[in-house]
Chains A and B, each alone.
Chain A
Amino acid sequence: MGYAVPIAAPATQYAPNVARLILPSIGSASWQQLGPDWVCILTSAVHHNESVTPHSLRLCQERAVTAFVYDIRRIVRAASAVCYISVPTHLVSASLVKQLEHAADVVLRINSFTDMSWHSTLDPQLQDYDGLLIVERLAHLNGLVGHVPDRDGWRHLLKVFSCFCLSCYMA
């Protein structure tokens, strides 16, 4: 028994069978309104023979977020979908960021020039740019070696035009 998929869609129609899943600012305060996983917290406290502390609360919350992302990855892997996750690195711990990086396939980082003290020391040609777009990880699917961009450097400058059109330039 196969899948009930049309053999050929009409050429004038788009194929709407791809989903784009967006999880903005995961791990932020808005995601914590679901409440902590108290069973996990109490189980961990009993297991480690210690009282419930804010540290254990935070660890359990991070564990729940990581487990959720892994659940999402399992779902996305089996579906025709791609997932976009953004994480506020200034709000979550470094350990959670590392775990999310491990779960993700492609990791991008945006560094804004606004908060950089060395912005004034930048090359004058770079004064017009708004930040750095850094590719930290690329997907390695179906093999040991993934796509390697044939360009020098993985850091690219990101510029937002005054007309709000986004474009990227090589560093």
Chain B
Amino acid sequence: MRCLIPIAVRFLTDLIGGGLALGTIVLVKEDTPTMLHSVLQRYFVAEGVSHRHKIISCAPGLDAAAVVRVVPQDSSAESAVVTPEDMAIVQVCITLRLHTCFITVADAQWRPYRLSPHRAQSMQADSLKIAWRYQQQQPAMSLHAQAGPSASSAWGSAVNPALLAGPPSRTGAVPAPSSSAASPSKPAGLARSYDLSRKRDSQWQDSNPPVLLDALAPSDPAPISQRLHFRNLSSLLQDRLLAEKWFAGRQLQIVGLKVGLTRVCVFGAVFSQRDLPQQLRLSLPWDMQCPLQPPQRSMLRT
């Protein structure tokens, strides 16, 4: 069974069969003179933020904070003043050149982003001043949902954790999203709409430095960077799994690791889940004893 992940655009979600199945890749060919594809990407990010998915934006030279700034706000009145808690968009891209073999892994805390009381009050006041008349309106996509063929489906609901209990099975049909997976705080069938004119993180720049990794740095004095030194590339190529074991012991996760002949690039996010409650922590995709020490050269050879 596979979970279906919505793409925030109601019509497109229905078109592709209820959403993207876990483990799939969607390729969007960009339009040349305009930037309509970026709108689709913003919605993809916004939907993930609404569901508190892990948003991982990877691109060399990309300012990850810039991705955060363009995430649209959920236009529903319920979440108009909700802060983007547990949201982290991390971009890690480290090149490893020949004879300078080391990997620097920067981990980012999923630190709950909370507003100061003064800022929260001002935001609530602004919402009352500006958006009180719009709160009575139905979301735009709900109107389309009523006319759609699957209006009764729990589109936009949270993913049932029971379906994620193990690796996605390669057999079986794609299940439709279950209404039981919906959270009571968000009723089933609630279709969100997003307003790009209202940035979700309009206050992000006010209280956070532009460097996202620094902004998400933990408050404790623990180092945010872990360094692994490898004597040669062959040891790294052979014992990548061992390195992952070490990261697993550090409550970290490597999302993507590309190993090339002349460079090693870590694409993805490496984040700590220590701040998350135990029941919300991501399960480790491997089951093994995690070494307490970084892999040594002798360990890498064995």
Contacts and interface: CB of A to CB of B under 8 A. Distances in A.
Task: Decide whether A and B are members of one complex.
Answer: yes
Given A39-B261, A131-B36, A22 B194 contact: no
A40 to B, nearest CB: 7
A22 B56 contact: yes
B11 A141 contact: no
Interface in A120-161: 130-131, 133, 135-136, 138-139, 141-142, 146-147, 149, 151, 156, 158, 160
Interface in A1-15: 1-15
Interface residues of B, number: 102
A85 B280 contact: no
B164 A34 contact: no
A118 interface: no
Contact of B45 (A20, A97, A115): A20
Given A18-B3, A34-B265, A168-B9, A86 B33 contact: no
B166 interface: yes
B197 A87 contact: no
Interface stretch (B23-31, B101-109, B207-215): B23-31
Interface in B35-77: 36-41, 43-45, 48, 51-62, 67, 72, 75
Contacts of B250: none
Contact of A110 (B11, B40, B257, B279): B40
B140 A110 contact: no
Contacts, number: 322
B41 A24 contact: yes
A142 B170 CA distance: 6
B165 A88 contact: no
A93 interface: no
A86 B44 CA distance: 12
Contact of B34 (A69, A79, A103, A131): A131
Nearest to A85: B27
Contacts of A37: 260-263
Contacts of A14: 51-52, 158, 183
Contact of A86 (B9, B30, B258, B263): B30
A8 B44 CA distance: 27
A18 B5 contact: yes
A18 B283 CA distance: 11
Contact of A81 (B9, B22, B44, B86): B22
A105 B5 CA distance: 14
Interface string B176-208: 000000011100000001111100000000000
A4 B30 CA distance: 40
B27 A104 contact: yes
Interface of A: 1-26, 30-31, 33-35, 37-40, 64, 68-69, 71-73, 75-90, 97, 100-101, 103-112, 114-115, 130-131, 133, 135-136, 138-139, 141-142, 146-147, 149, 151, 156, 158, 160, 163-170
Interface of B: 2-3, 5, 9-12, 15-18, 20-34, 36-41, 43-45, 48, 51-62, 67, 72, 75, 86, 93, 95, 140-141, 144, 158-162, 164-168, 170-174, 183-185, 193-197, 255-258, 260-263, 265, 267-269, 276-280, 282-285, 287
